[in-house]
Amino acid sequence: MSWIKTKWTAEEAEQWTKEDYIIFIISPLVYILLAVGLALSLLLLWYGFVILCVGMVLLVIMLKIIDPKLKAVSEDYEVKQREYLEDLEKIARWEE
């Protein structure tokens, strides 16, 4: 998956990129496949197991795509969080 970016700088990770848009498609698909696949698997129907396996494979792919980006976003943001919390209190207390 060389066209999928796995190393992010903080600045790059803050943008909405193709990796996010791919996740917006894969993630609901995983929910649908898990829901249908599990129900049919419990009835021991072979295609239920196939659907469930496809759902789990997509889940792994989803995590491989999005996790590096989420890590980068989180690490960068936590540094700024204290300052933002102070601003939040100012709004709550009508100081801004």
Interface with another protein (CB under 8 A): 10-12, 14-16, 20, 23-24, 27-28, 30-32, 34-36, 38-40, 42-45, 66-67, 70-71, 73-75, 77-78, 80-81, 84-85, 87-88, 91-94
Four-point Cα dihedral 24, 25, 30, 36, nearest 10: 130
- For the bound state, the minimum distance from the C-beta of residue 1 to another protein, rounded and expressed in Å, comes to 18
Contact (Cβ atoms closer than 8 angstroms) between residue 51 and residue 58: no
Nearer to another protein, 1 or 92 (CB): 92
Report the alpha-carbon distance of residue 42 to residue 77 in Å, rounded. Answer: 43
